[in-house]
Amino acid sequence: TGLNKMHSAYNRLNAIFTYTVTVLVIAALLTHITSFGLKSEPVGFNLRFHDFQYLNAAPPRGYLPAGDAADFTFDLKIDLRPVWTWNTKQLFVYVTATYENSKNVKNQVVVWDAIITNKEDANLDLYNEKTEYGLQDHGYNLRGVPVTLTFTYAEMPITGFFLWTEQGNNTMTMPTAYTRQ
């Protein structure tokens, strides 16, 4: 009788590893699929410009070329707790300012962001919130341009795919002249 290699230590470890990985993949897929039925839409959304701060011609600064710079405050109210499920690891939320000019068809700048790591903090009620990053153009193209604010949230699950959702917008026209030098 010859030695039977079918039940060697390597073969047994390979079978255990393959079985374990298969069970984990199936569990991750079930986790991802079942969380869709638990999720609801956000409640009470409102985003608007609150107060315009300034628009000026800024000199080169750091890695940014010379160009227009603007700043403003905004109000944001949204309850993201219904979006939160047991498969949610965190929510990445941000506000973008979008505008068009003769140089670029679409300019999109993130002006505020936050990472929400628990359900209790997912009820946002911001009043007169200052932008974190400001609005800076790579040229002198902001005067008299309509700027649209858009709120977006990205759900980062424990297992599964990232889901990005845009939630409404609000538009304001920039002044036609600089407000400070």
Beta bridge partners of 58: 67
Q: What is the pLDDT of residue 79?
A: 95
pTM of the model as a whole: 0.81
pLDDT per position as a tens digit, 19-35: 999 999 998 888 777 77
Residue where the block lists tokens 């609801």: 40
Q: Give CA 52 to chain center in angstroms.
A: 24
pLDDT per position as a tens digit, 66-108: 888 999 999 999 999 999 888 889 999 999 999 998 778 899 9
pLDDT beyond 50 at 1 = no
158 vs 6 pLDDT, higher one: 158
| Six-digit token string for 158 | 């424990």
Q: What is the pLDDT of residue 5?
A: 59
